[in-house]
Amino acid sequence: MMTSATHKVLILVPPQVSLFELGCATELFALPRPEFSHWYQTRLMRWHESASHEAKALTEPLPASGGLGLVAPIGDSFDGVDTLVVPSWPIEVTPPASLLYAIRRFFEGGGRLISFCSGAFLLAGAGVLDGKAACTHWRYGAAFRERFANVTVQDEVLYSFDGRIGCSAGSAAAIDLGLALIRHDFGSEMANQVARRLVLSPHRSGGQAQFVQTPVPRRPDAFSATLDWALSRLDEVISVEQLAAKSHMSRRSFDRRFRLATGTSPKLWLLQHRLDSAKRLLEETNLGLDAVAAQAGLGQALNLRLHFQKQLGITPSQYRQQFGLTR
């Protein structure tokens, strides 16, 4: 968990504003929450290459959805923040070279990057997604792949987040990623409170593939349905051959499709989701470690400890002390 001193967020206002995604960012990170003793310190900024202290006043309105105009402070650096949120980016607009350079420097200096929807185009343009898995709105998938061949596009997820870089799929998936970030920074109890205030479930299953507009086939895509099936049975023994058969694919075709969609192997994908399940159980219940391991599909407490040490660098008990409801 990050310390309260480092919860400093900058929301980058794009040159053409998508109000929904910007609204998600401000609702999640900029809305005052006096019910919490620690929360994000957030400001908004429009990039301007020649920004000065005097130029940080409000400027002429930026065009926004529905014919509205929006004003925002301007600036030319990300100094003093640890997390940069890019709510969106107009994919037909070439980002200023100075902005791309600043994003690279920010990330190389340890900063955390979060993008919603088309905001992934800006991060990819800065080169920070090279060799990594990312996602964006399904409508932009083909354009993203064509423009950024070094990035693995995840079609079947609502968001991707590795602790340093997070990308969400289209529109409302921004909230899913935002809640995941809050859960990462403050634990499940606070994330659940924010979700309740938003009148949302703190965890939404499935991926954006279920929303993609395609004329055929009319029945649900077997691959996407297989992933949802696996997520609902993490406590059971699941083989890759079983997943391939349910997807009506050969093992080789399934492995290829799976890596293209998720950026990882089926076994590692199952392990990651089982670890996520174990973390939620440690956060939200008082179950013993053997029961947590069994319900998460990790077998016994020994396996749970080994995976936590390898993946997170801490023991399950230490994780519960930091994030559990009784901490």
Residue 126's nearest CA partner among 111, 109, 148 is 148
Distance of CA 171 to CAs 86, 111, 134, 164, 177, Å? 13, 24, 15, 21, 11
Give me the CATH code for the 4-197 domain, please: 3.40.50.880
Q: Is pLDDT at 58 greater than 90 in this prediction?
A: no
pLDDT (0 to 100) of residue 223 = 83
pLDDT (0 to 100) of residue 82 = 95
Q: Is pLDDT at 32 greater than 80 in this prediction?
A: yes
Q: Which CATH number fits domain 214-327: 3.90.1520.10, 1.10.1370.40, 3.40.50.10440, 1.10.10.60?
A: 1.10.10.60
Q: Is pLDDT at 162 greater than 70 in this prediction?
A: yes
pLDDT single digits (tens) 163-213 = 899 999 887 889 989 998 998 898 878 888 898 888 776 666 545 543 444
pLDDT (0 to 100) of residue 81 = 96
Residue 274's nearest CA partner among 323, 238, 240 is 238
Which helix (H) or strand (E) segment holds residue 152: the answer is strand 152-153
What are the residue ranges spanned by the domains of the chain?
4-197, 214-327
Work out the mean pLDDT of the chain and round it to a whole number: 85
| Average confidence (pLDDT) over 299-319 | 89
CA distance 271 to 146: 31
* Residue 253 CB coordination number (10 Å): 12
| Average confidence (pLDDT) over 244-267 | 87
pLDDT (0 to 100) of residue 219 = 40
Burial (Cβ within 10 Å: 0-12, 13-18, ≥19) of residue 64: middle
pLDDT single digits (tens) 114-127 = 999 999 999 999 99
pLDDT single digits (tens) 101-152 = 999 999 999 999 999 999 999 999 999 999 998 999 988 988 999 999 999 9
Q: Is pLDDT at 1 greater than 50 in this prediction?
A: no
CA angle in degrees (0–180, nearest 5) for 125-46-55: 130
pLDDT (0 to 100) of residue 221 = 67
